[in-house]
A and B are shown apart, each in its own frame.
Chain A
Amino acid sequence: GQNIDQPTEMTATEGAIVQINCTYQTSGFNGLFWYQQHAGEAPTFLSYNVLDGLEEKGRFSSFLSRSKGYSYLLLKELQMKDSASYLCAVRDNNYQLIWGAGTKLIIKP
């Protein structure tokens, strides 16, 4: 079966750095996405990786290793507004997105 694993919840301190991991086992691979979802709101796109390596976008970076079936989202200089759920999704051979359950990130002052 297809599976996306992420930690259920993480806690970090304002101003610090946090890494959210995602491991996947899917029927093929055609890209990995990270989305942010604030409570009660819609998911919004953060990043897309299709090749191995690190993609940097401001305070957020995303890393992919296809051979390990592994990705992480790195958030730097954490702000209170970063408190949200972070969703990992992989596009499979049928070009459908398989979603993880999300990681709830709690930022403390």
Chain B
Amino acid sequence: TAGITQAPTSQILAAGRSMTLRCTQDMRHNAMYWYRQDLGLGLRLIHYSNTAGTTGKGEVPDGYSVSRANTDDFPLTLASAVPSQTSVYFCASSVGGETTEAFFGQGTRLTVV
């Protein structure tokens, strides 16, 4: 069972360039999330989607955009990367927005130089 898959696993990106981090789940979960994890800080929510066709802003949405065209995919786009976006990005999904545990992808380590 694949679960939740992220791509790429790591990337070095020049400042000012755009990039899309991919996330796909095969669990038919309604809710999906994008977090960033930085040393010494807790996971911070960037954007979320409670169901296909809807998205919402999390704690740190600036500089990022998402779309949810279908249940399985939830890509995260950086329109013009800046060094402060250097982080590990985790995509997660759960059965519903209000309940239960979240399942995480393996993460994308992004370095913006």
Contact = CB atoms under 8 A, between A and B. Distances in A.
Given A95-B97, A96-B58, A97-B45, A42 B40 contact: no
Interface of A: 4, 30, 33, 41-45, 48, 87, 89, 95-102
The 5 closest A-B pairs by CB, nearest first: A99-B42, A42-B104, A45-B101, A99-B43, A101-B42
Nearest to B33: A97
10 contacts: A48-B100, A48-B101, A87-B43, A89-B42, A89-B43, A96-B48, A96-B58, A96-B59, A97-B43, A99-B35
Contact of B102 (A4, A41, A45, A95): A45
Nearest to B91: A42
B106 A41 contact: yes
